[in-house]
């Protein structure tokens, strides 16, 4: 199968390593791949038939226990050798090995392990098989989607600025505070684009007089309407009617663009007349609830980094980049041709991209952060947002299924299919979290096979998938953390997804709250209830299993041990989910961004001090100064921030002092100063791009230890909060719990 044609031409040949036998073989294989023989259809067809026959042979050939063990050990040894070798070809070979191990396991599962004797065995056995089949399909589609990220690069603007096209910048808002929207407006006003060809609009679906007055004060457009039909999609579509520029840039009201956004993105549109939409990553300068409550911000990749770091780049190869609602540039004509932003589903963004692809337009992705925004502030808000995404993808699956209908190529269909199937993980995840209990508590034999045979078939499948995904995803997703993310969300997306699939017209668009503070730490008992039940159920199963080991026969000891290990793992995962529900304090209304920027202080006596920032926000700065410099708290100062030869000077008051650390709070900045401050801080592209995908790479064992440590912490938190709850009146507990907006 070959990728769809794209403006970039053929993908580059795989990179090769040097200095080893493995790299030499990789180089030889690369030269074979580049041979002109592959231009002949007969050669490609014969090779495909031979490869298919070999794969079928590997999957189906029967082996004894010893033979399967040797085969599994040899193939895994090859995979581990390849995992240390650079280049894309070793990755592709690892994928082939992983697919072979997984398909061999599933073939064995279907042909040798389903001879159930009782209704209980049948119920639990086929339930687990269905969950495994789902996981296998998602694994295979994921490999297809991400095996060869396109890694598109920006194209420089080659024409003089007076020939550059006009752009309308849309900033939709509904109920967000003005302070959040201001930062996006200020940075959008400073986009590096000819001012006469750039018009910024706030699209206010809240119809607020203070927003209109603000827009008039700073000299930008203000668009509103007398209804809220179709939520954000309707808001943007209304603005399309009253604006006229050839291109439209869309930013959520909490996403502040960098100055370089337009010049980074526009070059591809000028090169490819069929390009309708170019998406850039959603990067967040504040921690999401997982990162905040587990203290993993900037240490462990967050839930969304895999999508923006790898999946979208893989989609780009197949001309199937999804529009994500913000941080994107769109050509107006194709957008109007599909009727504007899609209104049939609550994931209007992805549905819009699907419509554009159906009409033969290209969509593209640049994996360079060109905007940064606020993450969801609480776990309840985060879950509500994911419920909307899940419901919307289920609606698309019913109303405009990409597997059917005109206009899409096979690669596009499979990329969209994987995106939709992903949000059906609720039930399979719950099955995996309870599967060992079927045997330990109900005595169900979900595998009609010996424990050793289960181990020699299942372990290669799991281990190959782990090391292969770790190699492919290691910059943007650490092993086992995905199971924590899915476990937190599984219960909550299960019902909305099934309901939307049955009746896609049910449900409403729920706006995700951003910003705000959490005055006091609290434990969200309402959110945590499913995780607590799952953890306690697995603890009961563990106790029962220990009893079976002590008082049972030796015939099934290995089977009991396998289920006990599985149960311990599930306790760790569910306990980690409980830890996420322990909301920590968030006392800053304006999150601070860590950054080392050249700065200076000017005192009332005329003296100046050169220093650098440690962090910044729209309300203040953290500075590092010599410990022996006396700067009293409450002193008025002028703070300078530099970008190359540009200097911005801002009045401020010293708020705190601790050794070398000095905090200042800005004092009554006028509008021009606020715009200048935003340009010197939030609009700097190096703030976001420098840290993109640069964290520690994943190592599965290290990641497993990290998840289990969080699980132990969550286990302790549960009993701590249980004790605290026992001392708190019920009315006070109920008042403290946030309401989860499911969009029903």
Would you please indicate which residues are annotated as catalytic (active-site) residues?
A: 205, 349
Helix (H) / strand (E) containing 125: helix 119-146
How many Cα atoms within 13 Å fall on the side-chain side of residue 616? 23
The pair of structure tokens assigned to 92 is 């592709």
* DSSP characters over 166-220: PEEEEEEESS--HHHHHHHHHHHHT-SS-GGGEEEEEEETT--HHHHHHHHHHT-
- Pair 262, 192: CB distance under 8 Å: yes
- Point out which residues pair with 554 in neighbouring strands: none
Burial class of 1 by CB neighbour count within 10 A (0 to 12, 13 to 18, 19+) = exposed
Query: Can you spell out the DSSP letters for 496-560?
Result: HHHHHHH-TT-----PPPB---B-S-EE-HHHHHHHHHHHHHHHHHHHHHHHHHHHS-GGGHHHH
Q: From residue 113, how far is each of 10, 139, 451 by CA, in Å?
A: 45, 22, 11
Mapped onto helix, strand or coil, the DSSP state of residue 665 is strand
CA distance 635 to 664: 9
Q: Is 33 helix (H, G, I), strand (E, B) or coil?
A: helix
For residues 508 and 231, give the distance between their C-alpha atoms in angstroms, rounded to a whole number. Answer: 9
CB of 159 within 8 A of CB of 270? Answer: yes
Q: Which of 446, 533, 435, 531 is nearest to 490 (CA)?
A: 531
* Whole-angstrom distance, CA of residue 564 vs CA of residue 561: 5
Q: Indicate the burial class of 17 (C-beta count within 10 angstroms; 0-12, 13-18, 19 or more).
A: middle
Alpha-helical (H) ranges within 228-376 are: 231-241, 261-271, 289-294, 305-306, 312-317, 332-337, 348-358
In terms of Cβ atoms closer than 10 Å to its own Cβ (0-12, 13-18, 19+), residue 173 is buried
Largest CA distance in the chain: 90
β-strands 283-284, 362-365: how paired?
unpaired
The length of the chain in residues reads 744
For residues 483 and 97, give the distance between their C-alpha atoms in angstroms, rounded to a whole number: 23
Please give the span between the terminal C-alpha atoms of the chain, in angstroms, as a whole number: 42
Nearest CA-CA partner of 202 in 218, 185, 190: 185
The residues, ordered by sequence, that sit 6+ positions from 320 with a Cβ below 8 Å of its Cβ are 357, 363, 411, 412, 415, 416
**44 and 33 Cβ atoms separated by less than 8 Å:** no
Rounded to the nearest angstrom, the gap between the alpha carbon of residue 293 and the centroid of all alpha carbons in its chain is 18
């Amino acid at each position: 199968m070959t990728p769809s044609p794209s403006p970039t031409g053929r993908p580059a040949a795989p990179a090769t390593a040097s200095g080893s036998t493995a790299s030499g073989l990789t180089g030889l294989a690369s030269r074979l791949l580049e041979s002109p023989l592959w231009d002949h259809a007969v050669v490609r067809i014969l090779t495909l038939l031979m490869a298919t026959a070999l794969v079928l042979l590997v999957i189906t050939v029967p082996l004894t226990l010893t033979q399967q063990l040797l085969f599994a050990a040899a193939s895994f040894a090859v995979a581990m050798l390849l995992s240390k070798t650079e280049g894309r070809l070793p990755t592709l070979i690892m994928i082939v090995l992983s697919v072979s191990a997984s398909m061999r396991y599933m073939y064995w599962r279907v042909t040798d392990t389903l001879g159930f004797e009782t209704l209980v065995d049948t119920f639990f056995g086929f339930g687990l098989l269905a969950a495994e089949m789902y996981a296998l399909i998602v694994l295979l589609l994921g490999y297809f989607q991400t095996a060869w990220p396109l890694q598109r690069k920006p194209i420089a603007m080659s024409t003089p600025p007076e020939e550059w096209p006009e752009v309308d910048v849309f900033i939709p808002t509904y109920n967000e505070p003005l302070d959040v929207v201001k930062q996006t407006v200020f940075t959008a006003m400073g986009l590096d684009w000819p001012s006469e060809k750039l018009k910024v609009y706030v699209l206010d679906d809240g119809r607020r007089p203070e927003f209109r007055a603000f827009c008039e004060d700073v000299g930008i457009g203000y668009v509103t309407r007398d209804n809220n039909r179709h939520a954000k999609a309707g808001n943007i579509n209304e603005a399309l009617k009253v604006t006229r520029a050839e291109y439209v840039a869309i930013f959520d009201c909490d996403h502040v663009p960098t100055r370089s956004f337009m010049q980074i993105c526009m070059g591809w549109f000028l090169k490819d007349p069929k390009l309708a939409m170019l998406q850039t990553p959603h990067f967040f300068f504040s921690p999401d609830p997982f990162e905040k409550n587990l203290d993993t911000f900037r240490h462990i990749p967050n839930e969304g980094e895999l999508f923006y770091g790898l999946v979208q780049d893989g989609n780009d190869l197949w001309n199937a980049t999804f529009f994500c609602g913000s941080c994107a540039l769109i050509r107006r004509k194709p957008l109007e041709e599909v009727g504007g932003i899609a209104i049939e589903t609550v994931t209007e963004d992805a549905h819009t991209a699907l419509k554009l692809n159906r009409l033969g337009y290209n969509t593209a992705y640049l994996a360079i952060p060109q905007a940064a925004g606020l993450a969801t502030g609480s776990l309840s808000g985060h879950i509500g947002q994911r419920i909307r995404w899940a419901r919307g993808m289920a609606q698309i699956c019913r109303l405009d299924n990409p597997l059917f209908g005109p206009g899409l190529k096979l690669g596009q269909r499979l990329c969209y299919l994987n995106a939709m199937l992903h949000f059906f993980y609720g039930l399979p995840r719950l099955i995996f979290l309870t599967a060992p209990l079927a045997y330990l508590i109900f005595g169900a034999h979900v595998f009609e096979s010996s424990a050793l045979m289960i181990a020699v078939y299942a372990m290669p499948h799991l281990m190959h998938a782990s090391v292969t995904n770790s190699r492919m995803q290691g910059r943007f997703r650490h092993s086992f953390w995905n199971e924590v993310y899915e476990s937190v969300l599984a219960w909550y997306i299960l019902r909305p997804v099934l309901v939307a699939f049955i009746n896609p017209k049910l449900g409403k668009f729920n706006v995700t709250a951003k910003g705000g503070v959490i005055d006091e730490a609290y434990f969200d008992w309402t959110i945590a209830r499913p995780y607590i039940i799952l953890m306690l159920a697995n603890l009961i199963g563990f106790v029962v299993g220990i009893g079976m080991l002590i008082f049972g026969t030796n015939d099934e000891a290995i089977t009991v041990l396998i289920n006990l290990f599985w149960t311990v793992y599930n306790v760790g995962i569910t306990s980690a989910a409980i830890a996420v529900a322990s909301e920590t304090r968030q006392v800053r209304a304006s999150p601070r961004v860590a950054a080392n920027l050249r700065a200076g202080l000017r005192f009332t006596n005329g003296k100046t001090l050169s220093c650098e920032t440690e962090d910044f926000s729209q309300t203040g700065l953290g500075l590092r100064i010599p410990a022996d410099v006396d700067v009293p708290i409450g002193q008025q100062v002028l703070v300078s921030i530099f970008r190359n030869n540009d200097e911005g000077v801002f009045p401020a008051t010293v708020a705190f002092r601790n050794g070398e650390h000095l905090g200042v709070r800005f004092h009554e900045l006028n509008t021009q100063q606020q715009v200048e401050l935003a340009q010197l801080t939030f609009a700097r592209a190096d703030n976001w791009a420098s840290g993109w995908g640069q964290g520690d790479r994943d190592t599965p064992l290290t990641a497993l230890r990290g998840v289990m440590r969080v699980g132990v912490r969550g286990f302790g938190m549960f009993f701590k909060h249980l004790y605290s709850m026992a001392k708190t009146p019920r009315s006070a507990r109920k008042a403290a719990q946030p309401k989860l907006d499911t969009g029903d």
